[in-house]
Amino acid sequence: MDVAAPGAPEQAISHLSERGLVPDLLVNNAGRGDYSPFLDADPVRLHEMIDLNSRALLDWTHTFLRGMVSRGRGSVIQVASGIVFVPAPKMATYAASKAFVHALGEALPFELKGTGVRYLTLYPGATKSEFFLGAGMTPPPSAVPARQVAREGLRALARGKSRHVVGAMNRFGIRIMPLLPRAVVASIAAKMTQ
């Protein structure tokens, strides 16, 4: 299924319902990146990225949360990115699309208090996946296995956390970055995403 297609979340719910299944967990992990200077990027590709990374995530979340809240149970994991905490040269639109996920994740856990629904925003760094190929990048040696990202996310959700940064080095990085001049952080981020 094309998760960015209009009506896709409703089709998924209908498909599950026909089989007597009720979704208790939604993991919004679909995402697309692009590694290029902003002015050189293909606007169509940028729009498709925003559509998948932000609009589709919003649609799936809204559709699935309504049922979960009405049943008084369920969980949502939104996959943002550690890139939202640093300037992102050559990945500005990707970072902006993930900043949308971050902002949603800052607000919705408060709106969902007392509903029985858990909500976690997950912030992985570089992850071993097809993402890098699609974005036109080479994965860095520090990329972590996707299974580790999934395990950490599920553990954080089980502990009732509303946000979790994957990996000790990433957690250290987001604590130290605010202490450095933004120009230095942008330079470091540019080197890390080459």
For 94-131, the DSSP string reads HHHHHHHHHHHHHHHHHHTTTTTEEEEEEE--SEESTH
Q: Burial, 132: exposed, middle or buried (Cβ in 10 Å; 0-12, 13-18, 19+)?
A: middle
CA distance 90 to 158: 35
Look up residue 53 and give its DSSP letter.
Answer: I
94 is catalytic: yes
Furthest-apart CA atoms within the chain: distance in Å: 55
Cβ atoms of 26 and 12 closer than 8 Å: no
Q: What angle do CA 194, 146, 161 make, to 5 degrees?
A: 105
The two three-digit tokens of residue 76, written as one number = 């949502």
Give me the catalytic one of 35, 94, 119, 123.
94
Mind telling me the catalytic residues? 94
